[in-house]
């Protein structure tokens, strides 16, 4: 089995590549543009494997994708490549729409013409939008997107589904909840808060911090995607949740406790525009069809993640040395600090 993985130099894609090389006999071709979020250091443990190779390129580049499929003849595609951050999508929506919508279309169309046997499109619970408690989204729940990022993922999900309905292409869609773990770029909540805490810098919590997310350890997510690749039914959507919902402020407090830092590092700042209050989803379908379940308990995964960031300060310094500082200033520089009584 040969798998074309897109976005395999990013956070989740690289964990998936490490899983395929480490625990299966599959061959992997990794197509990645190496944007700010793509990092070859994430793939050091597999780069010398003769079952692995990387192609640097853009999923929006038709000629590159078409010739790559003709040359490599993969049996399956697992599509992770995306602009994946909500805050960046608010500041600059264009690359998000281009990669997530047009890039997904390019891959689907090239895969259809090449007759690819299986196509797993990796998506997110954010496409269901904000849910009132105690609601949980099943796969039938309507799409209700809020940010340019979630809208781009919802749009690409619909495109992926249309390739099954119209062309009977064997497409499967996975929708996972918020991931955390080693190698995550420090722009998302958990790695940003860990790396700021370790450096005794303020922890910027948006608004009151009572927004709820369901946390899934990255390796559990990857095992779920592998289960869908191997056992998923064509045309189906599969939710993958961590079964651990927490308000952001609790996650931040846990990080402070585990890093031994004081709570006065917390700084409530102006909320994200269009901020979804609560995500929640049911993964019953994938669990009953494949036996998959999230195995890593949140406190265990969080401890492991903090240890990884402590031990990999050089990795953090490297990924922050590029355009990160300009992004940080653009996203956080203009936010007011909220007084305790107003949050
Ligand atoms: P990431 O930002 O860490 O990595 C994205 C990767 O895609 C990078 O290696 C980047 O170089 C590559 N890429 C970006 N644009 C590209 C292009 N035009 N052509 C080729 N490669 C390109 O993202 P992630 O957090 O690993 O997320 C991976 C996938 O999982 C995304 O589709 C995302 O929507 C989805 N997802 C993420 C989460 C999460 O919590 N991070 C949760 C659910 C679903
Ligand atoms: P994030 O990791 O960006 O994931 P998503 O927006 O895709 O869920 O954010 C997770 C939650 O943490 C979300 O409610 C926004 C919040 N958040 C902050 O409060 N401060 C921050 O600096 C960041 C990056 C996120």
Percent helix / strand / coil, the chain, rounded to 5: 45, 20, 35
Among the bound ligands, the one closest to the CA of 252:
2
Domains annotated on the chain, with CATH: 2-181+215-244+279-300 (3.40.50.720)
Identify the CA nearest to 222 among candidates 38, 47, 15, 41: 15
At 341, the pLDDT band (50, 70, 90 cuts) reads confident
Name the 3-class secondary structure at 246: strand
Ligand 2 in reach of 159 Cβ (< 6 A): no
For residue range 107-159, list pLDDT tens digits in order.
999 999 999 999 999 999 999 999 999 999 999 999 999 999 999 999 999 99
pLDDT in tens, 59-95: 999 999 999 999 999 999 999 999 999 999 999 999 9
Q: Is the CB of 190 under 6 A from ligand 1?
A: no
Whether ligand 2 lies within 6 angstroms of the CB of 188 is answered as: yes
Ligand 1 centre distance from Cα of residue 71 (Å): 24
- Angle (nearest 5°) at CA 181 between 48 and 119: 65
- pLDDT of residue 103 exceeding 80, the answer is yes
Which phi and psi (to 5°) does residue 199 adopt? -100, 10
Query: Given its phi and psi angles, is residue 274 left (phi above 0), alpha (psi -120 to 50 degrees) or beta?
Result: left
Q: Average pLDDT, stretch 182-188?
A: 98
Burial of 246 (0-12, 13-18, 19+ CB in 10 A): middle
Q: Kindly report the protein residue whose alpha carbon is nearest to atom 11 of ligand 2.
A: 189
Residues whose CB is less than 8 angstroms from the CB of residue 303 and which lie 6 or more positions away in sequence, other chains included? 258
Catalytic residue ranges? 125-126, 149
Closest C-alpha residue for ligand 1 atom 19: 58
> Which phi and psi angles does 51 have, rounded to 5°?
-95, 5
State the chain's mean pLDDT as an integer: 97
192 close to ligand 2 (CB < 6 Angstrom): yes
Specify the ligand 1 atom closest to the Cα of 14: 26
Lowest-confidence region among 130-139, 282-291, 330-339: 330-339
* Cβ atoms of 21 and 42 closer than 8 Å: no
Which bound ligand lies closest to the C-alpha atom of 207? 2
Q: Is the pTM of this model over 0.85?
A: yes
Residue in 218, 239, 226, 240 with CA at minimum distance from that of residue 15: 218
Does the beta carbon of 256 sit less than 6 angstroms from any atom of ligand 1?
no
**Percentage of the residues of the chain whose pLDDT score is greater than 70:** 100
């Amino acid at each position: 089995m040969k798998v074309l993985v897109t976005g395999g130099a990013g956070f989740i894609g690289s964990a998936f590549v490490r899983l395929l090389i480490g625990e299966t006999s599959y061959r992997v071709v990794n197509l990645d543009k190496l944007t700010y979020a793509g990092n070859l250091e994430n793939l050091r443990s597999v780069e010398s494997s003769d079952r692995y190779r990387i192609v640097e390129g853009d999923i929006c580049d038709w000629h590159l994708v078409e010739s790559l499929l003709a040359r490599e003849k993969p049996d399956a595609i697992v599509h992770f490549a995306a602009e994946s951050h909500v805050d960046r999508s608010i500041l600059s929506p264009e690359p998000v729409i281009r990669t997530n919508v047009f890039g997904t279309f390019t891959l689907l169309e090239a895969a259809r013409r090449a007759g690819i046997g299986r196509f797993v499109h990796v998506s997110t619970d954010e496409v269901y939008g904000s849910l009132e408690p105690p609601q949980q989204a099943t796969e039938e729940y309507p799409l209700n997107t809020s940010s340019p990022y979630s809208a781009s993922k919802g749009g690409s999900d619909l495109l992926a589904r249309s390739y099954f309905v119209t062309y009977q292409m064997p497409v499967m869609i996975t929708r996972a909840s918020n991931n955390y773990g080693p190698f995550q770029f420090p722009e998302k909540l958990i790695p940003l808060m860990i790396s700021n805490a370790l450096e005794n810098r303020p922890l910027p919590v948006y608004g009151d911090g009572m927004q709820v997310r369901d946390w899934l350890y990255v390796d559990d997510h990857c095992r779920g995607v592998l289960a869908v690749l191997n056992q998923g039914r064509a045309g189906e959507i599969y939710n993958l949740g961590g079964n651990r919902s927490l308000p952001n402020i609790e996650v931040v407090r846990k990080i402070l406790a585990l890093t031994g830092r004081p709570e006065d590092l917390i700084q409530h700042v102006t909320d994200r525009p269009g901020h979804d209050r609560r995500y929640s989803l049911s993964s019953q379908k994938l669990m009953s069809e494949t036996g998959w379940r999230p195995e890593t308990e949140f406190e265990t995964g969080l401890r492991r993640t903090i240890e990884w960031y402590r031990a990999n300060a050089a990795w953090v310094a490297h990924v922050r040395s590029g355009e990160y500082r300009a992004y940080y200033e653009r996203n956080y520089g203009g936010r007011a600090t909220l007084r305790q009584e107003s949050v």
